Structure 1
């Protein structure tokens, strides 16, 4: 392979000139980078891009001359614009978009004198800059301790009206600090600059010369000089040709990272007429929507403590927001670009402050250059891949804004210090590995958490260029090779983040971003990290970088001992997950078999969990695990653990009917071209499709149109709808019937299929193609050949080659006749219970009965009088009498007329007494404490501070007579936590008062954690809905009808059900502390009486006293001040009686004080 690359190097020497005298990276570093590239391919790419750029520019200049357009524009606010090309008849312009900056991103901790002791100043490193003009290379900041003449112009560009911007950007990266406030991020590094014309072809050439990072603080202008929107709408958030071209460059030069300013259009909420995510979002265009670069947002100066920890940071409102149309996390990261002081172009000693993402981007670029320098220093000169550098920046960023990644800050504010620390501890506290995944391969490692830091695991890769498109708001992912990272421990799997909205994310499968991160807070023990891929990798493999922090690097001594803690989770019909406790330094063999057999199946596993598949439903299995050391020693197998797979899924009851009135009914099959869609009324396309359902209002349909309407899967595309199973054993005949509507000029086909082997193979049992007329057509298929088997059915719809091809289905039935006579009655309906009881109505429900051929209905009786028959498992009773006891029984019947025994329930309707009026109770202040969580019987109400009383009687908890339940409450505190007294009453006899005997919870605590208490419901509690009062009062016990000072009261509704109902009696929150009984908060002053100096001390560990005042008997303050060392000098006040009042910053506490 090395000889192959050498040959290509010789072939391309004429174009990709080896510029060892121009780059500060060492010759060895540059040669290594070049040896990893296909230089012939880069040369071809450079030529193609150069040709395209020249043609676009030439055509734009020609049209500009015809139409009188300006080719360069200097706006009143100083913004510079230059014509680049014409799209859809519209001119497209490029436009431009440090002590504080270094502190915000913690880059100063890497500098000489920084806290890390690394003395990284960019020595021997080079950054490239493309911008709107040439740079003044003679500026004093480009000389200095790092050497003189450190900035070189590579394209012959000269100073122009936008050179101030290029000068400022370059200085932010490499200014030496002649003026200390203007020192760049990498003050000893070199820079190679060019203007933005022909940027792509020039960048391609520079990659062949060893370029590792470049800054681009410009992009497409939204509006022309008259304020009119000039960009096509599909540019906003779209993956266009410009985006793809840069991804192709970056993919072919995997050691090169392009850093891009997000843009300064954060306050332009009207240029994009239909933004992804809603108004105020979707403002990234051009190279800002590429996958492989690093897009930078702009933050205000961050508040950073002396140790480099982020205290707070705000986004600058002008910073352009994402996301991309396919919901990738863009911007990627945030830098500091607000009021950045740096070099200016009007003299060799000129400086100025500018704000914008244009400044945030070089803040990040220079910082990342130092990280490459640090990595090279520790790795014999080898530098990180671009994906590693990007991944490291995102992995170690400080979360800002919304929790998790978002479309404002990206992954957060750059933390160069934390990234450098990860490099320093690589192999001992962190992992930074550059790997390759082959298609279909699984990469797995185990790591041990350090037990103190969050465990973070991420993968980053440079993806192949995607397919550019011109569709507005196309949600189709442009990711080509989709890698996946998962972290597991025991039966728990941790997923990476994915955007679900501009400011929301979820930890779930991510199929759009070429960077995925899994965060585990509170990690401890051993975890398995797994990297896989979806589908087939284009190119057969994908290079990727793995970064892990929060782990221990202590090497494990391998001692093959028998694993313990073997358990089985996730048991399904055909699979299960086996997990066990880790044995340090080992891998494992897991073997399993059907119980009672002698043949084992063995899986070799590197982690502490493995998935078993291909198991038989309803079958018991044995499983054992042993450990293996690299030296070939093995432990014995663990003792046998047994588990039983889930029973086969019950088949559908016969006769069976489905008319799609409530849901899709059947299963949408994955892997086809789309889904059938449930609809009512007419379909979106006129002249094709039904106007209503065949049985009821709803039906399922699909169509071939491509105008964005519901149900479209495109032309000549297939959608499959699959049934559950039908057991035809013991049947003498069976029929599958349905209706179809197939009317139009381009109708495709509809096929019915059956399987007897759970979908392994399917057989066509009916098919039709072409238009069948504008009506519902009845179809009946004889299933005689399947009698005695268990089958599944499916309907396969295929659209035609035009829009007039709607296909609809409805009114599905499967019927069968049982061979011989059936005398077996259904089982008795169980768990019969009454709920929703009022004066005149109630609902009775029960568990379904079972039968050998299927239950057809349930007859409901009041005493011996039949109230009617229902097919479901509940009945609504009406016309009842208030305050009356009823006994209701339910009997199941089957198709042969067999009737089960009766299941019964007795309940009493509510009386006609009017709804009780309850006394009032309220706190008057919730500034410092409030009720923030109540959980009981299905109520789960988390709230902030209210007004002192909150009416939550619309929230209903269900408790059964005679049940024991766990209640959870918790207090919210704005600052210090105080002792709060809790009391809960439930009006069990519904008489409108809260009796002492109805107080179900009491206690006190100063904890903000969830607190648990047991609630016992009397067996004679009146059925139906009643009132529950939850009261929390500061520092003293309360009554049910009390209005007090600090604290809060909340009222809820409790529904008392019959004792047969056990559904709501097992709630348990394992994270709650038991509610106890703490003493009230007070303080002591001693000696008292006192003479010169007294001490004060709070009786609560949660209260820190901060100030005091001494008040005489007529209310005058005679002395006050801060509490220092909890001591007060009283020597200057007169003898007598006083009131001493102390304060913790929120509340005051008082006691008598005698001065002697």
Structure 2
């Protein structure tokens, strides 16, 4: 029966979980990982996780079949765990590397109180530990000056087991605080994140993506269970750790060499036939890590130099099968006293490479801390490893060997090299491009040995799958260092056998060191490479010691060798040859732009970030000397960034034991393959060529290892290159479960597909059609690359003779001459003001939705089925017709509206609220009128909530036909009483209903009375016009505004002049011009005017009749008791009223424009002044009422031309007007010798 195995791990989530416990700051972690390919790391994490689970499951199944033990208990109580099965079917056990007792060495020179004065205790640093069991995190040594609870379990495995004593001791060797002084770790204030050894590789991938710098692994394979060919072999385990470190260039793995030094029997086929060597296995044979041998207590001189050291006989010897120098370095792991797991205050002594490894890990952590303190950034892992191996004290035979590696670690010397960088030492992080030769001249100090090293993190090599003692080099990028002086060339070390070395061309190690014992003078260091460089370039680190501290003479020469490497979608590394003693300015810009970005740097390489994808850049470099000399910039070096790297979801079959994909055929692609590890195969280096619009057939051949099963298939292509297979049409073919072999299907590449390379996924699943991101029980997933090119690339010709016709207010028609195309035009895109407004298939387009009186520009482009687009047609401009007023009906003059029978005007849609009709006062106190100006009703703006603040309401008139008029006037009464911030009222006019012009406006409080206004409409004579009142509320509820007694009449405004010559008391004189009871204009008193002076005041009046009233507050007129004053009211040369001698006041009725007047002057003493009112006004019925105390009254009614219409006696205070036509009239009421004239409107 088939079983289901499911494992889901999300890298990002684990990155977040891990990062919360890290002591490094978020900024530091971001700096570490800023150039990491996170998509590649996630793919690796998924691959490692799936592979680990599958291998462990296979091992358990075979253990059940063959009777293997899952756990083997050792004499010291530790437990070895079954983890894997070798390709030839042998069980692989993890075993801790341990013998019994412990002590540590020279990191104390860096600690607080150490001889170098650096006070480095691992503050704000984090070490990662993988081991055989959980740690006791409550141990007293995990608190202290660096903070409490500095050790955290990071994988959720909290239960202590038989191997926890080992994990506890290892962790304490790195970070114990020294609560018991003899147990103090290398970095006593650092933090540690611990894990058990299950899922170590996938967990380490997650941690590396989160910024991990160092991890310790004091465990490895159990030797007596291994097949012989495993010893010294570069196997899949070695390769996978190298792949992780290559993709995480700041991460360095530290590994215990093992404790099989005294076991000469487990490997029956040792390298060179030497049974005392060739004992490394598993991750200890990787290239990029640091493998640590176990030395006994060293004899150290008072100055920190090495006197002597002896290897612990239990320490496992190398080298690897290709004669790489492994172990890399020796630590002190004999009788190390550290924490134990059986109590929070337990300690013990243990010996072994397990103890030497954390001794080195903690020391390396301090070196990273020191480098960051000095430079503001951490070292690449290759720099850290190179620095440690470069400064190690030689032990054993002269030069490196397979026992001590490069010798005993000298943390003090490494720290001094960091401190003296730029003087007695040189540490540079560089990049070598294909074909590049890097050179630098250095000056020996004449006394110390001149040592020059290069170190690099090499791409993962090809794994051995079963060949014993395969000497084929697994080095991928072979860099070489040479040091020359004159005719002398000095070469790096290399091994020539398991126990011999020489100097010469090293083609196996990713670390090379040249040593010159009696150096003197200037030397040239040269770095080159053989063959091609995988990855397009190779980062490397250069370490040189034994230099003179005297700064070199600086000549500001133009830098040479400017080159780019590691070019990604947003990053690139720029390098150049050094100029002695100089610093540099690097500047870059996108090709074709004018603005440079300039960066000052002290090194000979720089990592550019924030670049745009698929963009060509040019870069230049110049040198600068401290004295101010500056070279010219170098010639431009040009490079192009890549496309953005996409992150596709993971998919795999958990088992390929019964079936797998053995062949995929598509166009030029024909790939045969075996079963992949973990049910997923990355074949993205293989490319199938596809053409847009063409049909292609894919053929998939399955292989069954035994019985034939029904398999379902699916194929996806990421046509839009957005990193997923979820878009419409990207699942290009499916096949329901079948036993047929092979299976095939056709699909057509859409013309909308983005050209270039993209991902194709081929999936086969047992008994069902797979989905794109599925992990299923049985079957296999393979990813490929497809290259999509355009089929038809010929664009149509541009359309011509574009013209516009049938132009209306909101519509027009476009026509043009058709384009031609090699395969046929499929449509035309029409552009209006630069925007595509639609596509048509013919050569005409009807455009609608336009604005009247507006100019638009148009052009047209043609397109074909392949998506090719022509050039633009000719561009034309077309102007729509001006809008005509939309009037259901029009009114002629004269016109009046008093709102007695309704609104008369209209509230418009789209404003904030409506005008309202009302009688009496408005609802709010201290604002608005208390009654209509005339009659009963008026309209008003209610300003209380929710109609304020700053709300707008519009009240629109009917259309007025002024086509037969030469002049016209609108008159109305308005009332604006309230708070100072009450808002404003505007009268606007329009001839088209779209654009409006303000013709009158008032803002703020105008007092608690009805006021009159007249507006000249002569500008609109001869047209049809609409008027509207726009009320805008202020910021207060006390802002009611009202309108009443609207009239529109023929004729314009007349200017009259009020002329007054004062007597000796101007302060007694004032005047008014009134329309009935409404004051139109007024002035005085004039206390500020000189006695006897004259004023002239112009006043504009609409056609009609008015009262001019002059007052004297003393009651003696303005002549002649106290001076000879006089007054007159004139219209041009015509005198309308005049006088001088009166008592308290004098009233004169006069008319202007078409009005008529009897020019009767009445002098009325204050207190007996008479008046009357007409109502309703306008008169809607047949009767107008006269409100007056008089009973003996007669009336005369005239029109505005002065023609007598009707006269008679007033009957019981009313006059019958039923026989009058609608219009505006004047009614003169006479009682005795007194008469008054009022205007009224009949409707």
TM-score (norm 2): 0.44
Q: Which has the greater radius of gyration?
A: 2
Give the TM-score of the pair, scaled to structure 1: 0.47
